[in-house]
Amino acid sequence: MDASWNPVRDGGGSCLRESEWAPQAALVRDIFGNPFRPAPADPEWLTPIVVSLADGIYDERAFDRMPILADALQDAGCTNDDILSHCRDTSLTHVRGCWVIDLLTGRE
């Protein structure tokens, strides 16, 4: 194969186009988080409010409530920046299978 061949630039088959990379990568990060720095859930964070919010977000696909979940987690003693920043980042696209929601609800 020619080393100068670029499947994105040259339209090679089923490869993702450059414009699709970012949204696809964002979904993968939402589902899997950072595999090199996994965030454990402290059982003390799993207050009835946190668990209820996480379950409601999952069941109703109400991912606009993620910042509220971050506040509840912080009130419960969570200081994990990966978890809190993931919940507060309104630019992210969240889906069922979000690693934070799964972590808090035991779906992982």
- The ranges assigned to domains in the chain are 18-105
pLDDT at 87 over 90: yes
The pTM of the whole model exceeds 0.85:
no
pLDDT of 78 reads 95
Pick 11 or 18 by higher pLDDT: 18
pLDDT of 93: 78
- Whether 32 shows a pLDDT value over 80: the answer reads no
- Tens digit of each residue's pLDDT (9 = 90 or more) over 1-15: 455 555 555 455 555
First CA to last CA distance, the chain = 41
Q: What CA–CA distance (Å, rounded) separates 71 from 51?
A: 13
In 3-state terms, what secondary structure has residue 42? coil
Q: Look up residue 80 and give its two tokens.
A: 């994990």
Whether the pLDDT of residue 88 is over 80: the answer is: yes
Centre a 10 Å sphere on the Cβ of residue 89 and count the other Cβ atoms it contains. 13
